[in-house]
A and B are shown apart, each in its own frame.
Chain A
Amino acid sequence: MHSIIELKNLTKIYREDGNEVIAVDRVNLQIQQGEFTAIVGPSGSGKTTLLNLLGGIDKPTQGQIIVDGVDITQLSFSQLVDFRLHNIGFVFQSYNLIPVLTAKENVEFVMFLQNRPRPERESRSRELLTAIGLADRMNSRPSKLSGGQQQRVAVARALAPRPKFVLADEPTANLDSRSAENLLEMMEMLNRTENITFIFSTHDPRVMRKARRIITLLDGRIDSDTIAG
């Protein structure tokens, strides 16, 4: 296994109304290919900020984020957009599917942005939706799907372009127990079978139980970093 992500002295400071808030404080971290990692901690500990920095949708105040040998903090806005498109999958707490597109079209969308040919897009989205048990809901719009189903579509969308890793911000926060359990099992299965790296931010003990590495943040710093038995 090799380090897919390396954080060096990563700091993020927000300045609001003359006050400085240190959201992430000198974090050093390495994530290996194929990890199933949970970033945990109380509200305001910097989980979402760290995830946003990892995903290149926020710029750090200082430090480096090296993804597969590329320091993404040195990339311009448009280079970062392109980097995210080809390397990172995102799963958001509130699903964030495009409401006017069907499940299949949502999954295809990132591949469309990558200018992949239509047959490839169609077969990949079909394959993923079948794998997550939504083969019969391919043509349903998000409003016709349950929360759990929408989040599964969001996972399929994140995986569709075969990213280097998937960032999931509190993916089970809006799900009932059963849906959360199903989603976690599905992601764990994809992690084991396809060696996809998953990094979650979560409060959810169910996610923590499944995670094989738990990084605990406190006031923007790593408080503990444990590998599950």
Chain B
Amino acid sequence: MIILAWKNIWRNPTRSLIMLTAIVIGVISGSLFTAFYNGMIYQRINDAISNETSNIQIHTPQYLENKEITDTIPHISQIIQHLDTLKNLKAYSLRFKTMAMISSANNNTGVVFIGVDPEKERATTNIWKHIVQGEYFPPDRKNGMLIGEKLAEKLKNKIRSKVVVTLQDTRGNVVSAAFRIVGIFNTGNTGFDERVVYTTQSDVLKLFPDTMPLIHEIAIALYDDQYTTTYVSQLQKVLPFVDIKSWKELYPEVGLMADYTQYLQLIFMTIIFLALSFGIINTMLMAVMERTRELGMLMAIGMKRSKIFLMITYETVLLMGCGTIVGLGFSYLLVELLSISGINLASFARGLNQMGFSAIVYPVLTLREYMQTVELVIIAGIISSLIPARRALKLMPSEALRKQ
């Protein structure tokens, strides 16, 4: 029956080829759009995880709301002891993190002032990879600071320029310290680059000589993001005295985009296949009307209505299926090629960077999305075949045989 349906498709090759071309173009457009959007979102998520939040963060329950310097994480050694037992943990970084004012000779602005252990931070985030001028905490420099390119522009500072950081200590007193810019980073997210500065924990300690190291944040990097949710709930049980959040909770807008991508392809492809279905219905109705006498003959010689229905359905699904397979084949090649070279949106770079997106997009299409397209085709094919098949089933053999 499938062979007969396949042969029937090619009775009118021109008509079938036109329909196939429309399906191929539809599938390629849908796939490329999805791949492009995925590329943008995945890149944003990867950047958010690898440069900014890591997979999981630990704070005191009040910290994220108040961001007070006094909201330091208690029982650090107990937390570290537990983190060291986690299997899929790549690294973690203990951070001093508070709001501060940074001033240069030319300008001043508010920043998030972060003190890190350079080696642990290097293992946890990719800030070191984004250094575009200078170095990542050279060992021989005291009071070194990393700032974003955007902030450097704003402060009109260069490498080795001096900046002064002013902040409150744990008693509410204002303290200031001078730092020298040792590295300038560019993560591609201008918002982040404009508001975050890094120095070392040892230099922070000099600001607060009478206290223990102040840790406000523990950033945890995992080998695979799929363990994030499990680890968050696991850690919440073991460490109930701290607030444990995933990157999705820390950056809800990025989390929302990640969740949205799952539905976007479905919505977009549904719209494409809905439009194509009308073309398919028209093509198949024409095919049924042209074969009225033959369908009458088939019923006369004993072909059941269910088999005629099946034959028309196979024809429709095969036509859509072929177009989809060819379309997905081309989409795969295009996505693979573009995922190497990337799509350069340099002319929109400024706007994209401000929103945290990179100007070069590397399209991504997952196996699940390829499969989702195939599932949609089968559903759309079956639905599209209903009207032509119903038309065929309404034929009475004696009347159909009389048709010229």
Contact = CB atoms under 8 A, between A and B. Distances in A.
A71 to B, nearest CB: 19
B294 interface: yes
Contacts of A90: 297, 300-301
B212 interface: no
B302 A96 contact: no
Given A58-B398, A81-B305, A92-B401, A100 B300 contact: no
Interface string B365-404: 0000000000000000000000000000000011001000
A96 B293 contact: yes
B109 interface: no
Contacts of A110: 301-302
Interface residues of B, number: 20
A98 B294 contact: yes
B304 A96 contact: no
Interface string B296-335: 0111111111010000000000000000000000000000
Interface string B38-61: 000000000000000000000000
A204 interface: no
Contacts of B298: 98
A114 B397 CA distance: 19
B227 interface: no
Interface string A74-101: 0001100110111000101010101111
Contact of A113 (B11, B294, B307, B401): B307
B302 A113 contact: yes
B398 A78 contact: no
A171 interface: no
B340 interface: no
B331 to A, nearest CB: 31
A227 B176 CA distance: 127
Contacts, number: 58
B169 to A, nearest CB: 88
Interface string B2-18: 00100110110000000
Interface residues of A, number: 24
A88 to B, nearest CB: 8
B9 to A, nearest CB: 9
Given A81-B303, A82-B302, A100-B11, A52 B398 contact: yes
Contacts of A21: none
Dominant secondary structure at the B interface: helix
Given A96-B293, A100-B10, A55 B300 contact: yes
Nearest to B300: A57
Given A52-B398, A57-B397, A100 B301 contact: no
Nearest to A87: B302
Interface string B53-90: 00000000000000000000000000000000000000
A114 B307 CA distance: 12
A82 B304 contact: yes
Contact of B401 (A57, A81, A85, A157): A57
A202 to B, nearest CB: 17
B299 A81 contact: yes
A121 to B, nearest CB: 14
A216 to B, nearest CB: 23
B10 A113 contact: no
A90 B297 CA distance: 9
A84 B299 CA distance: 9
A84 B398 CA distance: 13
Contacts of B303: 81, 85, 113
A161 B33 CA distance: 54
A55 B297 CA distance: 12
B338 to A, nearest CB: 40
Contacts of B397: 57-58
Nearest to B398: A58
Given A99-B11, A100-B7, A92 B297 contact: yes
A55 B397 CA distance: 11
Contacts of A101: 4, 7
A41 B373 CA distance: 60
Nearest to A161: B302
A92 B298 CA distance: 12
Interface string A109-141: 110011000000000000000000000000000
Determine which residue in A57, A96, A99 has the highest number of CB atoms from chain B within 10 A of its CB, and name it.
Answer: A57
A113 B301 contact: yes
A131 B349 CA distance: 79
A96 B296 CA distance: 10
A113 B303 CA distance: 6
Nearest to B293: A96
24 contacts: A57-B397, A57-B398, A58-B397, A58-B398, A81-B299, A81-B303, A81-B304, A82-B304, A84-B302, A85-B303, A86-B302, A92-B297, A92-B401, A96-B294, A96-B297, A96-B401, A98-B4, A98-B298, A100-B4, A100-B7, A110-B302, A113-B303, A113-B307, A114-B302
Given A85-B302, A98-B4, 19 more contacts: A57-B397, A57-B401, A58-B397, A58-B398, A78-B304, A82-B302, A84-B300, A84-B301, A85-B301, A90-B301, A94-B293, A100-B4, A100-B8, A100-B10, A109-B301, A113-B302, A113-B304, A113-B307, A114-B302
A-B pairs, top 8 by smallest CB distance, nearest first, are: A85-B302, A100-B7, A96-B297, A58-B398, A57-B397, A84-B302, A52-B398, A57-B398
